[in-house]
Amino acid sequence: MGWWWRRGNRMADATSSDKAQGPEGITQIGHRDYVGGKWDEIGDLQFSFLKQQGLRPEQVLLDIACGSLRLGVKVIPYLQPGHYLGMDKEQQLLDAGIHQELGETLLASQRPRLLCSADFAFEQFATPVDAAIAQSLFTHLPPPLIGCCLEKLRPWLKPDGRFFATFFEVEQQRDNPSDPHDHGYFAYTREQMQTFGSDQGYRMDYIGGWGHPRDQVMVVYRHPDG
């Protein structure tokens, strides 16, 4: 079992972290519900957001914690072949995304590049990216792992690239769990999110609400001169 995340329902009570993680949990509730459900709603929301932010077919997109391709099935046909990079720690989710959601025809024609990694091994793609998105990833991670993600992405984000990330916002710092959990609840202040970025050499801009059904808000990280 790797040491990062999974996107689940917005639940601050202890029952959310009692759900099974990994292959057992995926088998129990299915690949769509394991990544939080609301399949078409959140997939369409992400795709529309990225296009509004200027994502073009010729650009390279990195989908961090891509799961079973909730965003992927929307954006892969839009991007040029080979321009979608998806990473998740659960091979079972990636397999479901390919075989049950995307299909062999689009897999062959669009050539998405998918990687199972539990430690943000972006270097295995060896491809600079124009944009990256982590939708409901930081909502399941403690600060050290958020920092790790940002640190490992930085060399692969193009000089004018952007990294979009969602989080649950609180006004005062809260005591989040010390360990990541696929169904856990982690919330941060805007100032904490800014510090996570500045500690790794980014500047952060707050976007805020973007229509997420569970009220996750959006920030964007850039290189200081980007």
CA–CA separation, 25 and 211 (whole Å): 28
pLDDT surpasses 50 at 2:
no
Tell me, yes or no, whether 12 lies in a domain: no
Name the nearest CA neighbour of 21 among 37, 12, 34.
Answer: 34
Neighbours of 170 (CB within 10 A): 13
Asked if the structure places residue 2 within a domain, the reply is: no
Residue type, 131: A
* Mean pLDDT along residues 50-63: 99
Rounded CA-CA distance 145/129 in Å is 21
Q: How many domains does the chain have?
A: 1
Q: How far apart are CA 135 and CA 217, in angstroms?
A: 10
Does residue 7 lie within any of the structural domains?
no
Q: Which residue has the higher pLDDT, 3 or 175?
A: 175
Q: In this structure, is residue 209 part of a structural domain?
A: yes
What residues contact residue 60 under an 8 Å CB cut-off, 6+ apart? 79, 83, 84, 85, 127, 128, 129, 130, 131
- Bridge-partner residues for 115, per DSSP? 87
Asked if pLDDT for residue 162 goes beyond 50, the answer is: yes
Q: Residue 138 pLDDT > 70, yes or no? A: yes
Least confident stretch, 154-158, 184-188, 203-207:
184-188
How would residue 33 be classed by pLDDT, with cut points 50, 70 and 90?
Answer: low
The mean pLDDT value for 87-104 works out to 92
Whether the predicted pLDDT of 159 surpasses 90:
yes
CATH number, domain containing residue 175: 3.40.50.150
- Residue 38: CB atoms within 10 Å: 17
Q: Are 197 and 221 in contact (CB under 8 A)?
A: yes
**pLDDT of 206 strictly over 90:** yes
Residue 3, pLDDT > 90, answer no
* Structural domain boundaries, residue 28: 21-222
- Judge whether 4 lies within some domain: no
